[in-house]
Amino acid sequence: MKILLQNIHSRLYFSLLDIWTANPRVAYNFRHSKQALDYVRKQNLKDVQLVVKFDDAQWDEIIPLPLLVASLSAQYA
């Protein structure tokens, strides 16, 4: 399982160093949703969503992020 960030408009996945890729295999794996949410908050990213990718794509899940990510992230600190 991989925890990825995806831009909702371009559908690109976050890789590293502000590089975005169409290939989820090379996207950065945050490993835990809290790490992804913390990164979104710290970088003040907008228009992104969490994508949980599994080896079997039928189980993939897209999770839209609320506008107040900071408060959601703080809940799990």
- The pLDDT tens digits of the residues spanning 60-77 come to 778 777 644 444 444 444
* Dist CA 24 CA 22 (whole Å): 6
* Dist CA 35 CA 27 (whole Å): 15
pLDDT of residue 77: 46
Q: Report pLDDT digits (tens) over 30-52.
A: 999 999 999 999 999 989 999 99
Give the model's confidence band at 56: pLDDT under 50 very low, under 70 low, under 90 confident, else very high: confident
What is the mean predicted confidence (pLDDT) over 50-57? 85
Query: Do residues 9 and 59 touch, judged by C-beta distance below 8 A?
Result: no
Residue 28, pLDDT above cutoff 50? yes
